[in-house]
Amino acid sequence: MSERIILTLLSVFLLFGVVSCDQLLGSKNDDITDEIFEEGKQDPLTVVDEVAYAALVPFWDELSGYDFDAPTDVFVGYDELVYVTDAIGLHVLDRAGRKYDVIEIEGGATSVTQDRLLNVYVTARFDTVITAVDPEKAWNLAAVYKIKNANGAGEVEIIDKLIHPFMDNSRSNTNSQQFRLDTTRIDNEEFVELTSVAVLSDNDIYITRKGPRNRTGEAIAPDNTVLVFSENSSGKMRNTSQIRTLNPTNPSFLSGISINDITTLIGPPQRENISEDLSFIIAQGAPERDIPFRVLWVSAVQTVDGLEYRPNSSLLSQDTSRAESFLYDQYKFENPSGVAYSADANGYVFIVDQGTDSLYMFQSNGFEGINPPPGSVTTKAINVSFGGFGDEERQFNNPSGVAYFREIVYVADTGNNRIARYKLTTDFE
C-alpha cells in the first residue's frame, strides 16, 4: 500500500475521531427529536392549512399505554411535571408522558393545582366519623388535600386536609359546623362539593365551593362561593375570608352560581417577577339555569376602603371590526367545566365546555381567537376554538379540565379517557 493511500486513510479515521457519527449522520438526541418526543408529533392527517390548533399525537390514552380512569383535570406545575386527576387519584408524568407516580386517593380526585413551593392541591372526598353527631355513621365530605413531594423529591406526604364544613371560618362554633350533618335535610353537608383550587403569587389559594344552601345576609357563608386560604404560623392552611361579592343565586357579571372551576392570572413556569394580581376567572355550571354569562373575569382592586372584587368591565366593550366573537357573548357556553390562563406574554384564556364538548380560546381582551399572523389578508382575530362530540382528534366527550404550558394545550377528555394535546399551527417551526 502506498504512502499516499495510508495517509489518506489516516485522515479519514481522524475525521471520524474529531467529528462524531452523531454530527455526521444525525442523533436521536438532537433538538428536533427531543421536541417531538417531549411534545408529540403533528398528525399529518389532521393538519389544517389555516391557522388552527393541531393535535399532537399520540394522545395519552389506553392505546398508548396509559391507565387513566376518566381523567377530570390536568395541570402543568411549576416543576414542569404534568398532574392528572381521575377516579384513581393523582397521576404524575413528565411532559414527554413518562409516568412518575400514581398517588391513590380513596374515591378519586377531581381537580389539581400546584403552588410555587411545589406543594400539590387536589379536590376530593374524605370519609370520617364525627362521634358527637353519630358514632355509627361515616360522613362523606368534600375536602382538599395538600400533598408534599408528589414530584418524587421525597416521601409522598399529605400534609394538610381541608374538610368541609370544618375548614370554613364563617362556621364559628360547633353548632354551625354540625347542624347540616343530618341525612334528613335536603341541604345535608354531603351534597356540598369543593370543585377547584387556584394559587396566588404568595401561595395563598382560592377554593371554589358549590352546594344547595345559598342564603345571603347570614354570618355563615353560602355554599356557592370562593374561599381564600393562607398558611398560618403552624404551616396549616386556614380560611381567612369568603368572597361574598359573588351572588350565589342570581346571574350577573359578578355571580358565583355552581362554580365548576377557577384560575388565577399567575402560573408556571417559575419567574423572579410574578404578578401579584388577585383577580380570577370562574366557570359557572348549573346547565339547567338561565345564565347568559357563564365564564366571568373578576378583577381584584385595592381601594382606600380595602380590597374590592369587581366585574372586568373592559370585556363588555366588543369591537366587531377586530373580532367576530367574544368571551362575553351571551349564552356562549352551556356548562363550562374547566378554565386556564396562559401566564405568559400571550395572556390566552382557555375554556372547555361539557355542554358543547368543545375547547375555546380567547385573548385577554375577550376576543375569541388569535391575531392574524404577519402578511395575512385577514384583519380580524382568527377563531381557533374547536370541538364537538366524538372521539376523533379534534372532538371531545365530556371534557372536564384544561391546562396550558409553553404553547401546548392539554385537555382532560373525560369521556374518551385520555389527555389530548394541541398546538397552534403558527407555533410549529
Average pLDDT for 376-388: 92
User: How confident is the model over 64-81, as pLDDT tens digits?
Assistant: 999 999 999 999 999 999
Cβ count near 292 (within 10 Å)? 13
Cα-trace Rg, the chain: 25
Q: Residue 291: is its pLDDT beyond 50?
A: yes
Name the burial class of residue 387, with classes exposed (0-12), middle (13-18) and buried (19+) by CB atoms within 10 angstroms of its CB: middle
Output the nine-digit C-alpha cell for 129: 366519623
Go through the domains of the chain in sequence order and give each one's CATH number. Answer: 48-427 (2.120.10.30)
User: What pLDDT does residue 41 have?
Assistant: 65
Overall size of the chain counted in residues: 429
pTM as predicted: 0.89
**What's the CA gap between 359 and 411, in Å, rounded?**
8
Give the confidence band of 355 by pLDDT, cuts at 50, 70, 90. very high
Average pLDDT, rounded, for the chain: 90
Cβ(98)–Cβ(112) under 8 Å? Answer: no
Q: Residue 369: is its pLDDT beyond 60?
A: yes
Output the nine-digit C-alpha cell for 318: 366588543
Give the confidence band of 46 by pLDDT, cuts at 50, 70, 90. low
Q: How far is CA 345 from the centre of its chain?
A: 18
User: What pLDDT does residue 376 have?
Assistant: 80
Q: What are phi and psi of 270, to 5 degrees?
A: -65, 145
Amino acid symbol at 333: F
The three state secondary structure string of the chain is CCHHHHHHHHHHHHHHHHCCHHHHHCCCCCHHHHHHHHHCEECCCCCCCCCCEEEEECCECHHHCCCCCCCCEEEECCCCCEEEECCCEEEEECCCCCEEEEEECCCCEEEEEECCCCCEEEEEEEEEECCCCCCCCEEEEEEEEEEECCCCCCCCEEEEEEECCCCCCCCCCHHHHHCCCCCCCCCCHHHCEEEEEEECCCCCEEEEEECCCCCCCCCCCCCCEEEEEEECCCCCEEEEEECCCCECCCCCCCECCCEEEEEECCCCCCCCCCCCCCCEEEEECCCCCCCCCCEEEEEEEEECCEEEEEECHHHHCCCCCCCCCECCCCCCCCCEEEEEECCCCCCCEEEEECCCCEEEEECCCCEECECCCCCCCCCCCECCCEECECCCCCCECCEEEEEEECCEEEEEEHHHCEEEEEEEHHHCC
User: How confident is the model over 139-186, as pLDDT tens digits?
Assistant: 999 999 999 999 999 999 999 999 999 999 999 899 999 999 999 999
Q: Any idea which residue has 372532538 for its cell?
A: 395
Output the nine-digit C-alpha cell for 127: 370519609
Q: Residue 278: is its pLDDT beyond 50?
A: yes
Percentage with pLDDT > 70 across the chain = 88
Which residues are paired to 76 by β-bridges?
82
User: How confident is the model over 83-115, as pLDDT tens digits?
Assistant: 999 999 999 999 999 999 999 999 999 999 999
